[in-house]
Amino acid sequence: MSILVEPLWLADRLRDPKTVVLDATLPPVGVIPPVDTRARYVAEHIPGAIFFDIDELSDHTTDLPYMLPSADTFSRQVAQLGVSDSAPIVVYEQESVYSAPRAWWMLRTFGAREVHLLDGGLRAWREAGLPTQCGEVRRPAAHFVTRPDPGAVISLSQIRQMLSKRAQVVDARSAGRFAGTLPEPRPGLSSGHMPGGISIPFTELVEDGRLKPIDGLREIFKARNLDMEQPITTSCGSGVTAAVVLLGLELAGAKQVGLYDGSWAEYARQSEAIIEKTI
């Protein structure tokens, strides 16, 4: 199954009412005033698309941002949106590549059978001359049976073990935050990186609003000396852009990739956390 799909591919499949299209655009962190991505969705979206609010669908029993909810909670919430685990699902975002891979990863981690990402998102859809619509879309409630993938989600205890063994942990934050020369956007957190972390800012994987071609992705990972045959864990500030790098790794042929869900927001606030800086 191809992960990335083109606008014309999706346009053809919109004839099937079972196809579910999700706008999964999150506001970028640190932008003032905040971008109202839901309002932008209401103003313009792919016909039939519903808004997949990653924040609303996250775990609100913790103060960590965007953490996965329980399987039962996720099942109930997405079923109410009209998303079935057996339906063909296509996720997109309004601009570039930032949060849609997180939604793709969430759905796949909880057992959705067929999840695609629209390459180039809404912008590519428009550029293909395809129609859009406005207003909220609501689908009838569906049935979502979760089958969580135990290898997809990496916990704090697991990341500690990996760091002690110098396993491959890729950090998707900016080079300045990784080095400790730029501050974190979330108050109270030190910048810097985990011992042995490998810096691959997610923006390096993006070009003209799309992920770079597979050969270009492979060159980036080869330049960082990643062993694609061995397990790799991705991390970032909150677990969102870590999914961009995870997606890039899978497209490039990595054999086993997990995502540290708590990411830097969890790791850096631990009293015993070792934080390295390159200054």
* Annotated active-site residue in 159, 189, 211, 236: 236
DSSP 193: B
* Strand pairing class (210-211; 206-207): antiparallel
Q: At what angle do helices 242-251 and 214-223 cross, to 10 degrees?
A: 110
Sheet bearing 20-23, strands edge to edge:
4-5, 114-118, 88-92, 20-23, 50-51
d(CA 66, CA 48): 25
236 an active-site residue? yes
d(CA 175, CA 217): 18
d(CA 114, CA 5): 12
- On the CB side of 247, CA atoms within 13 Å amount to 33
DSSP 128: T
Question: Which residue in 200, 202, 180 sits closest to 190, CA to CA?
Answer: 180
Residues tagged active-site: 236
